[in-house]
A = this chain, B = another copy of it.
Amino acid sequence: MLDNQTFLITGIADENSLAMKTAEKILANNGKVVCTGLGVTPFHKNLSEKAESFLNKNYEDFENACKKVLGNDVYTAPLDVTLPESLSHFADDLKTKNIKLNGFLHAIAMDKTIRNKSVKPMLEVTAEEFNDTMNVSAFSLVTLCHSLLSNGVLQNGASIVSLSYIAAEKVSFFPYINMSIAKAALERLTIEMAYELGKKYGIRANAIRFSPYMGSKAGNATLKVEDVERANRISPLGNALPEDLAHEIVHLFRKETRITGEIRHVDGGFHIMG
């Protein structure tokens, strides 16, 4: 189904990341993947020892997981979407290696106002925290597009999928606040990309709102068991699973489907309840 097609998968932290399930599904459909993880790049400056050690550990986990699950040949690279040099270095490298992308998954999010499953009220969020979360979690969609397009790596007709969730629109009972605003911006940016890149390159861009999921590192750091259970109870079909999400992403990645600008729900029907 995805023969001779290659997709960039961002946002893998370890084996249990949602993005990893998608990478697996792409391989299972005869596609290829390119994976980026958070790690030290030559473009980081003045990293504290602690930060460097954190990034190194993070990248090691990412790389090991990729090799284990996706095979030893999988292309992996460190990428920091907030550093223009890191982005253009990565795009250059793909170009040099003659790797063309037929699409990518944007699954990057970071919010320092969530700590140990507890989250700052919006009123206490600082401008720096707001901007950091916005840049990493939303604007990075644009910078990724920009660097991949200006290097000729992202192909005409490619398909972009970004990960969102219901809180982009509603005040959810589970603990995201500052991040919700970034997700609202991410969805609107996805729509803007659908328009701008659709007209020009036939590129598609869609977002998916997924059920709360604790299985991943990110989910486990933020969600509480009772919140996930509550969503499971409310949703007509219970919470959706990572494979449901992977299935939907692969569907949207398929060539020649005139679907774009959609904000879709893979959530067991949670969003219909009021």
Q: Which residues of A contact B (CB under 8 A)?
A: 82, 84, 121-125, 127, 130-131, 134-135, 138-139, 142-143, 145-146, 149, 166-173, 177, 180-181, 184-185, 187-189, 191-199, 202, 204, 211, 235-241, 244, 247-248, 251, 254, 256-262, 264-269, 271-274
A173→B169 CA distance, assembly (Å): 20
Chain A to chain B contacts (Cβ below 8 Å), 25 pairs: A123-B196, A125-B142, A131-B139, A134-B134, A134-B185, A170-B191, A171-B261, A181-B192, A184-B184, A194-B272, A195-B273, A198-B269, A237-B258, A237-B260, A238-B258, A241-B258, A244-B257, A244-B258, A251-B251, A258-B266, A259-B264, A259-B267, A260-B268, A261-B269, A262-B265
Among A191, A235, A251, the most chain B Cβ lie within 10 Å of the Cβ of A191
Residues of the B chain whose Cβ atoms lie less than 8 Å from the Cβ of A264: 259, 262, 264
For the complex formed, measure the closest distance between the CB of A211 and the CB atoms of chain B, giving whole angstroms: 8
Who on chain B is nearest to A188 by CB?
Answer: B184
